[in-house]
């Protein structure tokens, strides 16, 4: 009887661990990037309409590698044609860099 209780407890703990891992992974690889993309688009709309936006779902090292950043970009049409700007944000929504590439 005691062995079955221990086994059941270990299975339950393992299941909770897997559920916690999946929850954290979903937050880091879906919720944060979607929130940052919405923030990036809202800030870009102040300067005029945008034609496209993207963000990488997995954070990558930024700068010296101590900070993880979500990279993304905005494309807009201006009088000079298409303008693309790439951004890097940390998970807290702090803008780390912005660079116009075209």
Q: How confident is the model at residue 63 (pLDDT cuts 50, 70, 90)?
A: confident
Q: How far is CA 93 from the centre of its chain?
A: 9
For 35-50, what is each residue's pLDDT tens digit? 999 999 998 888 888 9
pLDDT of 99 > 90? The answer is: yes
- Tokens 């944060």: give the residue: 32
For 5-34, what is each residue's pLDDT tens digit? 777 877 878 777 777 777 777 667 778 889
Q: Where are the domains of the chain?
A: 2-100
The conformational region for residue 63 under phi > 0 = left, psi -120 to 50 = alpha, else beta, is left
pTM of the model: 0.71
Q: Which residue has the higher pLDDT, 25 or 79?
A: 79
């Amino acid at each position: 009887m005691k062995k079955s209780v221990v086994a059941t407890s270990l299975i339950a703990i393992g299941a909770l661990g897997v559920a916690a891992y999946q929850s954290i992974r979903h937050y880091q690889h879906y919720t944060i990037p979607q929130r940052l993309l919405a923030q990036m688009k809202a800030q870009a709309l102040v300067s005029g309409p945008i034609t496209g936006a993207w963000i990488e779902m997995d954070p990558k090292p930024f700068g010296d590698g101590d900070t993880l950043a979500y990279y993304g970009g905005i494309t807009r049409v201006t009088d000079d044609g298409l303008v693309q700007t790439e951004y890097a944000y940390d998970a807290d929504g702090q803008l780390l860099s912005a660079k116009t590439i075209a």
